[in-house]
């Protein structure tokens, strides 16, 4: 089974207007209330790709209930732990440019942390555990390290899509897959990454540290896959961008959906990039037919060692 875990879910209040200006009243043309948070998006896209998963994490209050009901209506199994605080609402403004305002995550007390660990203890060899989204600083790093070590000891595929200080430690736990975007990868190495060669240089370091598959997503430039056997660059398909929120999460879903069937990292990478772009070209997340229509447009090229500067 695939389990996704969103420590900090959200309702993504997504609003469209032709132009957005600060310090004045703006009126929206359209608004949507999508359940969000990276693990939840991964579960939603997996479902659209005909793959079942269980969404774990923490939700609270009326916003938490809304998310849970939304997922149940989409046929996704949920097993959230309740928090005292209400789940945050993240604001996504789609105007001339995309502007995002993400709230802080909830405080998770030690009992709630214990409840999550108990749920993870039932995972079996071959299962997948996707830890995705921001990790509140109120939770000690040791908690996430414990999750990683349970997964490693049980032979669970541990997939990581997070940022900040927790990521620095977690990349040393031999995760199966991590998917930083170029900014998150740069943050990890305290540098700025401005092209695929630089991204490749740092992704290789992560592979040397024991990460099995590193996908660096780079928005409209596509993505890179670095493993001990591959250094591949994918061009993103061209299309009209509607809403890129959830594109990175869709890369993970596409990768997992394909990998669990074919056990082929190259094919899975291609499917992941097509899924990311298919989401960017929609208001909500991609559908399977969108992904398959884009697949042929995802060109993969090997990046050669000599191209990798530094």
Ligand X SMILES: O=P(O)(O)OC[C@H]1O[C@](O)(COP(=O)(O)O)[C@@H](O)[C@@H]1O
Ligand Y SMILES: Nc1ncnc2c1ncn2[C@@H]1O[C@H](COP(=O)(O)OP(=O)(O)O)[C@@H](O)[C@H]1O
Helix (H, G, I), strand (E, B) or coil at 106: coil
Scanning 74-135, the segments in alpha helix (DSSP H) are 110-120
CB 18 to ligand Y: min, Å: 19
The yes or no reply on residue 36 touching ligand Y (CB under 6 A) is no
How many Å apart are CA 180 and CA 171, to the nearest integer?
A: 11
Span near ligand Y by CB under 6 A; candidates 23-31, 48-56, 100-108, 236-244: 236-244
Scan residues 168-227 and list those touching ligand Y (CB under 6 A).
181, 217-220, 222-223
The yes or no reply on residue 248 touching ligand Y (CB under 6 A) is yes
How many binding residues for ligand X (CB under 6 A)? 16
Q: Which does 151 bind (CB under 5 to 8 A by kind): ligand Y, ligand X, none?
A: none
The b-or-e profile of 130-139 (16+ CB within 10 A means b, else e) is bbbbbbbeeb
41 vs 78, which CB is nearer to ligand X? 41
87 vs 275, which CB is nearer to ligand Y? 275
Is 169 an active-site residue? no
Among residues 197, 143, 135, the alpha carbon closest in space to that of 161 is found at: 135
How many Å apart are CA 181 and CA 53, to the nearest integer?
A: 24
The yes or no reply on residue 90 touching ligand X (CB under 6 A) is yes
Angle at 220 between CA 217 and CA 223, to 5 degrees: 30
Chain mean position to CA 149 = 20
Surface-to-core class of residue 284, CB atoms within 10 Å of its CB (0-12 exposed, 13-18 middle, 19+ buried): middle
Q: Nearest-CB residue to ligand X?
A: 36
Q: Per the residue annotation, which of 249, 264, 290, 307 is the catalytic one?
A: 249
Scan residues 196-255 and list those touching ligand X (CB under 6 A).
245-249
How many Å apart are CA 65 and CA 68, to the nearest integer?
A: 5
Kindly write out the interface string for residues 259-288 of this chain, putting x where it contacts ligand Y by CB under 6 A and - elsewhere. Answer: --------------x--xx--x--------
The catalytic site residues sit at 249
- Give me the residues that bind ligand X (CB under 6 A), please: 8, 10, 12, 36-38, 41, 90, 102, 133-134, 245-249
């Amino acid at each position: 089974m695939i389990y996704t875990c969103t420590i900090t879910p959200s309702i993504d209040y997504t609003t469209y207007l032709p132009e957005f200006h600060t310090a004045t009243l703006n009126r929206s043309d359209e608004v949507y209330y999508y359940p969000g948070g990276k693990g939840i998006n991964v579960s939603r896209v997996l479902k659209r790709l005909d793959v079942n998963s269980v969404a774990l994490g923490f939700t609270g209050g009326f916003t938490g209930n809304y998310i849970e009901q939304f997922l149940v209506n989409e046929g996704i199994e949920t097993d959230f732990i309740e928090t005292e605080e209400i789940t945050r609402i993240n604001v996504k403004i789609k105007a001339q440019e995309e502007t995002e305002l993400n709230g802080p995550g909830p405080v998770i007390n030690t009992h709630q942390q214990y409840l999550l660990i108990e749920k993870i203890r039932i995972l079996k060899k071959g299962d997948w555990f996707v830890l995705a989204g921001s990790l509140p600083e109120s939770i000690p790093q040791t908690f996430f390290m414990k999750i990683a070590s349970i997964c490693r000891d049980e032979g669970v595929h541990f997939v990581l899509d997070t940022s900040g200080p927790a990521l620095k430690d977690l990349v040393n736990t031999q995760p199966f897959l991590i998917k930083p975007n170029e900014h998150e990868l740069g943050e990890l190495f305290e540098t700025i990454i401005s092209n695929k060669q630089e991204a490749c240089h740092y992704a290789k370091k992560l592979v040397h540290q024991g990460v099995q598959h590193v996908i660096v997503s780079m928005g409209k430039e596509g993505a890179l896959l670095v493993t001990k056997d591959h250094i591949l660059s994918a061009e993103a398909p061209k299309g009209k961008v509607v809403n890129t929120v959830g594109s990175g999460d869709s890369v993970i879903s596409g990768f997992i959906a394909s990998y669990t069937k074919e056990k082929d990292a190259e094919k899975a990478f291609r499917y992941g990039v097509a899924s990311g772009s298919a989401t960017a070209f929609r208001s909500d997340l991609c559908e399977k037919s969108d992904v398959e229509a884009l697949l042929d447009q995802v060109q993969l090229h090997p990046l050669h060692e000599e191209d990798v500067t530094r």
